[in-house]
Amino acid sequence: MIAVLIVSAPATAADVSDVAPEFEIATQDGNVIRLSEFRGRKPVYVVFWNTWCSFCIKKVPRYIKLQEQFADKIEIIAINTTWSDSPEKMRVFEDRFNVNYSTVFDLGKLITDRFEVTNVPTEFIIDVNGVIRYRNSVPEYAIAHLPDWSVTNVSID
């Protein structure tokens, strides 16, 4: 089962310094991922990808390593744009590369469009406050920046 629910958010929130567009999507095994569930808890590394994308494939070891070492500090969500892809191709890809991070199939490409993604891979770092810190050009040593991405906004009334 694949389901996508887009929750209200500004239509143009896909650039650095904007609040990331909210989304809710079911994984292929039925678990539901909501971007907002990580707000206040940990940053999120969102990557839009496809099974046939050679540049996406080259990045898989990086995501696997981050997941192995830092799953408690950053969430990785790989969103398949569905461009010339299928849930079956995605399952084969996941098995072939021993993917250990969350992957979802954006049926209808609603999230892909909401984030204004036009090519793959497109990567976002969303800090603990839900703000987009990077749209592509994610630092090679991303984990060194975790302290910056993990500071929550505290309002004092």
How buried is residue 132: exposed, middle or buried, by Cβ count under 10 Å (0-12/13-18/19+)? Answer: buried
Which tokens belong to 115? 């984030």
CA-CA distance, 116 to 119, in Å (whole number)?
9
Strands 32-34 and 75-80: unpaired
Domain tally, the chain: 1
Answer yes or no: is pLDDT of 54 > 80.
yes
**Contact predicate 78/49, CB 8 Å:** yes
Q: Could you tell me if residue 34 is inside a domain?
A: yes
Higher pLDDT, 142 or 138: 138
How many whole angstroms separate alpha carbon 153 and alpha carbon 151? 7
| pTM metric for this prediction | 0.88
Q: DSSP character for 121? A: S
Q: Nearest CA to 28 among 76, 89, 69?
A: 89
Residue 147 located in a structural domain: no
Answer whether residue 38 is part of any domain. Answer: yes
Torsions phi, psi for 4 (to 5 deg): -130, 135
Mean pLDDT (the chain) is 89
50 CB-side CA count, 13 A: 16
Say if 94 falls within a structural domain: yes
| DSSP type of residue 19 | B
Average pLDDT of the segment spanning 84-97: 96
The confidence score (pLDDT) of residue 32 equals 95
* Residue 74 pLDDT greater than 90, yes or no: yes
Is residue 87 assigned to a domain? yes
Q: What percent of the chain has pLDDT over 90?
A: 75
Going by pLDDT thresholds of 50, 70 and 90, the confidence category of residue 10 is very low
55 within a domain of the structure (yes/no): yes
The CATH number linked to 101 is 3.40.30.10
pLDDT at 114: 95
Q: What is the mean pLDDT of residues 62-84?
A: 96
Predicted confidence band of residue 13 (pLDDT cuts 50, 70, 90): low
Residue 156 domain-assigned (yes or no): no
Tell me the residue range of the domain where 125 lies. 4-9+16-139
* Listed residue (23, 24, 31, 39) closest to 1, CA to CA: 31
- Is residue 72, in this structure, part of any structural domain at all? yes
Is the pLDDT confidence value at 34 over 90? yes
